Structure 1
Amino acid sequence: MVRVGYLVSRFPTFTETFVLDEMLALEALGAEITLFPLLRERPRATHPQLAHLRAEVVYSRFVSGPILRANLALALRRPWRYLRTLIETFARVAPSRNFTLGAAGIFLKSVYIAHEAERRGIGRLHAHFCTHPTLAAWIAHRLTGARYSFTAHGSDLHVDQTMLAEKLRRADFAVMISRYNRDFTLARVGARWAERLRVIHCGIDTGAFAPLPPRADAGDGVLHILCVASLRRVKGHVHLLRACAQLAAEGRDWTLTLVGDGRLRAELEAECRALGIAPRVRFLGQLTRPEVTACLRDCDVVALTSVQDARGRREGIPVSLMEALAVERPVVASRLSGIPELVEHGRTGLLAAPGEPAAIAAALARVADHPEEARALARAGRARVLAEFDLSDNAARLHAALAASPG
């Protein structure tokens, strides 16, 4: 049986459902998981599938009695190793202000996680995101010898590669959620680490997403556009809004539904008013998965116009696009990072250059003007999801990798 401690940045979260889904799929394969979040979230709502997670969740504060006692115990039992790990941690993160601040915040907690994992007989850790969670796993490894692996997603990999080569050197393996991420990593750390990398896509429960018939009033001449994404800069909402304004200027009729919340909401609402399209745009905020499925039933096309922001942050492969294609809704997305591995232009969907409203508008118009082609693309997209982005299949590959590593 695979016993593994999972390290994540925060839990429970409303947006990072791919981690929750992966843990549930691993549990279905017989894995025993203990979850160690670095931060405890208190979201206004949670997804229903959270109730099915069997994993014990070990929350901890940044500083507490148990954390201080764990540090003292390890420092007394392995003084040289504790001191070496402390010094090495801050020496290695020194080039990065973000990592230095992060290490200062999580070092004591990472020691506590190492202590708790050892006390519970957990010899294997897996971290999601190659930033602070993987640093915590690395610290645990240096302190207790616990084996670890990690998954690199999007901005956690693309923005700051401080310590990346060292994390790979000590890890049993690293999961790249796209071929793009694998190539990005090897270009920065060298081909000698190629055998450590496993390309395993995030996936969805394809059995929960049956093909939907076309929208009931699909012949009404109105293009119903849906975007499911948190309201963050990398999601590129402003470019989608400007593309929709261009469609309006061309005399096309459309509606846009935005599912997701975030700090940019007021800014995006103001943009809608400035563009004169506010009456056609609905902001629904965060919705549960069943509610998102209802939105998919009522739309003609799903758009996600992601961009790279000024800091280099960008998407991995958005789960919302997988879900849209799984129910056979055509998608318009950005030619960026790993997205073309799911949305192949002209075969499984339509791609536009990031941050170019004219190209986005042209792709949306193509969906409206050629509905049969759009449906064919969506069918091919579902086939791609079933073949490469099935949660059970990809979780089985991760389970096999965890089972094959010592610990």
Structure 2
Amino acid sequence: MRDGPVPAPVAVVLKGYPRLSETFIARELLGLEERGLSLRLFSLRQPYDAKTHPVHARISAPVTYLPEYLHREPLRVLRAWARARRLPGYRAARAIWLRDLWRDRTRNRLRRWGQALVLAAEMPADVAWIYVHFLHTPGSVGRYAARLTGRPFSLSAHARDIWTSPAWEKAEKLADARWTVTCTEAAARHLDGLAPGRVTLLYHGLDLDTFPPPPAPVDDDRDGTDPTRPVRLLAVGRAVPKKGFDRLLRALAALPDDVRWTLTHIGGGAEARALKALAESLGLADRITWHGAQAQTAVIEAYRAADLFVLPCIVAGDGDRDGLPNVLMEAQSQGLACLSTDLSGIPELIVDGETGVLVPPDDVPALTAALAGLIADPATRRRLGAAGQARVRTRFDNRAELTRLAGLFHRDLAGVGGAG
């Protein structure tokens, strides 16, 4: 906790809240509150997960849901427009939006403007700063609202928002923001090429209080030869193309029939039905359990019950890719050996052959060979799991990174008052 007066509130713009797949954001919000910041959350979408993580209950910031679809709340949008038109920054903000609309003639761009009007009109007067998670849609809403109200804003860039947004849009947002943080060296290099000197690397890290060391393993000698004791594989992540789960299924299908394994998948996602159909067509259905989205306590239990964690990330057809998946840090915190790909920020966490195993993305034969080797070698799994756990606990403790982020806010909020 930080002693002294509480600075003026910060409005945090989020794509959706709460979300099971974005625990790194929830941990950050809680960490900022614990470091003396007062937050007001504004979500562009309603929550769609039936469950939440324990961390969400510890966050005290109030949440305002902006109109997810403008036609569903027309009076609210019209009232916001009437009020926003009287703001000193209206003409400048409208000019930015019209220029963006000319280059991106989509309904989404119209919705971003309507949500920004509501955000600007309904934001409490004492809010002094706007902080936005994700460069793409939330970044536009936050940028327009900042210009409307005359407030400064800053950005936190992650993965899809970086790799699927056009260069012109990223460059202009980075130039307008007071500062931007991003969570991998790969992303920082890319963004720095668009806006030199305006981007800071700040890892999310892991809340090690939530992920304490596991109990000592009592059953760690499985090698895939005993039908009654198969090697237990675990994959956690949304069923979306960039996770590469279809490649995982094809790699598993290529293993010899006498290699004994089971796979548990945890996560929702639009591709879940297609993945189940693929598993059925490959003859794998009886070896795989699909759990859907789960609360964090259940995920931790799954890490502790598994022998090998697999996340074969790829670059999706639209350019989307992971940055540094938090589930890899979570799995390693539990001493679980990890197999992934040398993509984006993953090699910043996993040192191939030392703290885990990496294969080229989208290389099914290489993934099959790595699976076969790790399934058959419990000693190597133990070695990699122990080394990965040590690296996470020494290099990716989120407390130091949260203190750095809070320091940016405390530095810049000094003497800044509300607007609007």
SS at match of 1:218: coil
Deviations 1:141-191 (A, max 9, x none): 21122111111111111012342111111111101110000111233x1xx
User: 1:48 aligned to 54, 61, 77, which one?
Assistant: 54
How many Å apart are 1:64 and its aligned residue?
Answer: 4.4
User: 1:371 aligned to 378, 395, 409, which one?
Assistant: 378
Matching residue of 2:227:
none
Deviations 1:302-352 (A, max 9, x none): 000111111100001111101000111010001111111111211211001
Matching residue of 1:207:
209
Deviations 1:104-130 (A, max 9, x none): 01212212212333x431111110000
For 1:320 and 1:333, the matched residues in 2 are separated by 11
1:355 and 2:362 correspond: yes
1:72 and 2:77 correspond: no
Alignment of 1:226-305 (within 5 A): 226-249=234-257, 251-305=258-312
User: 1:225 aligned to 233, 239, 242, which one?
Assistant: 233
How many Å apart are 1:217 and its aligned residue?
Answer: 3.1
For 1:293 and 1:183, the matched residues in 2 are separated by 33
Matching residue of 2:28:
22
SS at match of 1:17: helix
1:91 and 2:110 correspond: no
Q: Is the contact made by 2:132 and 2:139 (CA closer than 8 Å) also made in structure 1?
A: yes
* Structure holding more helix per residue: 1
Matching residue of 1:343:
350
Letter in 1 for 2:300: T
Matching residue of 1:134:
139
User: 1:113 aligned to 111, 114, 119, which one?
Assistant: 119
- Segments of 5+ residues of structure 2 without an aligned counterpart are 1-5, 224-229
How many Å apart are 1:220 and its aligned residue?
Answer: 4.1
Alignment of 1:389-400 (within 5 A): 389-400=396-407
Matching residue of 2:16:
10
For 2:137 and 2:251, the matched residues in 1 are separated by 37
- Segments of 5+ residues of structure 1 without an aligned counterpart are none
User: 1:331 aligned to 338, 344, 367, which one?
Assistant: 338
SS at match of 2:235: strand
Letter in 2 for 1:172: R
Deviations 1:197-247 (A, max 9, x none): 110112221122233356543334322110001111111111111111122
Higher mean C-alpha displacement, 366-375 vs 3-12: 366-375
Counterparts in 2 of 1:299 and 1:214: CA distance versus 1, 3 Å: farther
How many Å apart are 1:394 and its aligned residue?
Answer: 1.4
How many Å apart are 1:77 and its aligned residue?
Answer: 4.5
How many Å apart are 1:380 and its aligned residue?
Answer: 2.2
| TM-score normalised over the length of structure 2 | 0.90
| TM-score normalised over the length of structure 1 | 0.92
Letter in 2 for 1:75: R
Q: Is the contact made by 2:248 and 2:364 (CA closer than 8 Å) also made in structure 1?
A: yes
Percent identity (aligned): 29
Higher mean C-alpha displacement, 378-387 vs 265-274: 378-387
SS at match of 1:58: strand
RMSD, aligned CA: 1.8
Matching residue of 2:200:
198
